[in-house]
Amino acid sequence: MPTLHGIKAPEGKGVVLEVHLDIQQASAAFASWLQDLGFEPDPFTMFHPAGYTAHMTGRARVPKRSMQAFLQEIEGTLDAVMRRARRNNTPLYAEVEIATSTARFEVRRAGRFSDVLSGFRFERTGRQGGAKADIHLEFDAGTVPALLREYLKSKCFYWVATPSTEHFGAEEIATLQTSTFVAARRVYERLVTRTLPFATGIHLEQKLFMRASHEGLPMPEVINVSH
């Protein structure tokens, strides 16, 4: 079995690999078994798509030379997860990603903002799952002005929320899942150079693959971005 370390990847050299599970109605026994595999509860108070009730995360720090072998082990682990999820009738989907870039911001508590994403075109595809990258734009919970929330929704971002935990404070997170990594990087770079008010940080992740335990499960929509 590959070694996953819950929410926090070990310090050191190498690439941070993330495995996220979104689960509908996980039993205590199933959640405990996932924790034995190295996943840790990573709770949300608002999910997208709706209908999921548990989010779990496992991270590892992997030397680049070992990545291919490690991914094969991860696929084996997810095979076992999907088999047990089907046997227990516990629908879930998994995302496997590489954390590529992170920026933290000095928070600007000004309510006005410009169209920082002007020049980009965001197009809904209707396809669920299969994105190649995602962007997570973070805000402290309760600080997001309604106009800013709607602005990001108009650019095809969706919102999730998390409670305060031992790892993080309570947050609201605007997420965009894109059809190409190049497009996501361009949006990420724009949002780093033209910071939105109240944003505390941003993450860019390269999505390696997604897996679902059952056919037809709702997953985030893939967005085409052009510039």
- CA atoms within a 13 Å half-sphere pointing along the CA-CB vector of 149: 13
pLDDT value for 65 = 94
- In the DSSP assignment, the letter for residue 46 is B
**Predicted structure pTM score:** 0.94
Supply 217's token pair.
């499960």
Instruction: Read off the pLDDT of residues 42-63 as tens digits, 9 standing for 90 and up.
Output: 999 999 999 999 999 999 999 9
Quick check: 20 and 189 in contact, CB under 8 A?
A: no
pLDDT value for 141 = 96
State which fold the 15-98 domain adopts. Alpha-Beta Plaits (3.30.70)
Q: Where are the domains of the chain?
A: 15-98, 101-209+219-226
Which parts of the chain fold into alpha helices (H)? 28-36, 67-87, 146-154, 181-193
pLDDT value for 111 = 63
pLDDT value for 167 = 87
pLDDT value for 108 = 79
- Give the chain's residues under pLDDT 70: 1-2, 111
